[in-house]
Amino acid sequence: MRLSVLAGMMTGSKNIFNGSAKGVSKRGFTLIEILLVTSLLSVIGISFYHALEKGLTIYKRGSQSFIDEDVAIALDKIAQDVRNTFSYSKIPFTGKERRLTIPTVVQMPVDAKIKSAHGQLARQIGSVEYFFENDALYRRQANYSQALKKKFGPARILIKGVKEVGFYYHVGNENTAEQRNIELVPSILVVEITVQEGKNQRSISRAVNIPVSRSEG
């Protein structure tokens, strides 16, 4: 009798223990645990967002500095060619809003027939043309013979990824009316390059004085 009661008590205790274990193993996350995980994920998300935003800001600043550098190099090259221009009826100065063709001093390869000068460049009278097309500013040049025939060598990109390039001309001084088409050497050439920065546009311009125009007057 006592043995059967004891056995029954042991069996009941075993069932209670198993039931408790199953209850523990099957329970879900508590509200506190869910809140802790949510808070942790929020902190990680905010930190990642700030890091990404900072990285994009640094990238934009770097891209802007590269664009400014490219624009400065392009303006320097244009100014150099324009300051070396001259008045010559066989190679006319032709200025338009998006295209500039001028007689100037160019560096061209020395005649291939001269073996000792292979690969060397020589300064000579010729022509240079700048033109804006497909978001890029191009430059091409011609030696004297090519310039007389109005032919040019291959064009190369001087700067790309710009919104607009404009050439504007003043005859006399900067107070005179601006012209966008001209067939004589002006006193001042204004070059304006517009770049796109996100939703905003920014223009960088330079005025170049042309000495030959003053000497002609």
Could you read off the pLDDT of 145-184 as tens digits, one per residue? Answer: 999 999 999 999 999 989 999 999 999 877 778 899 999 9
Q: What pTM was estimated for this model as a whole?
A: 0.67
Q: What are the pLDDT digits (tens) for 103-128?
A: 999 988 875 555 555 667 888 999 99
Cβ proximity of 189 and 95 under 8 Å: yes
The answer to whether 163 and 135 have CB atoms below 8 angstroms apart is yes
Q: Residue 6: its pLDDT value, please?
A: 40
Mean pLDDT in residue range 56-77? 76
Whole-number pLDDT of residue 119: 63
Q: Is the pLDDT of residue 100 over 90?
A: yes
Q: How many angstroms separate the CA atoms of 166 and 157, rounded?
A: 16
pLDDT reported for residue 3: 43
Question: How many Å apart are CA 65 and CA 195, to the nearest integer?
Answer: 12
Tell me the two tokens of residue 79: 């100014």
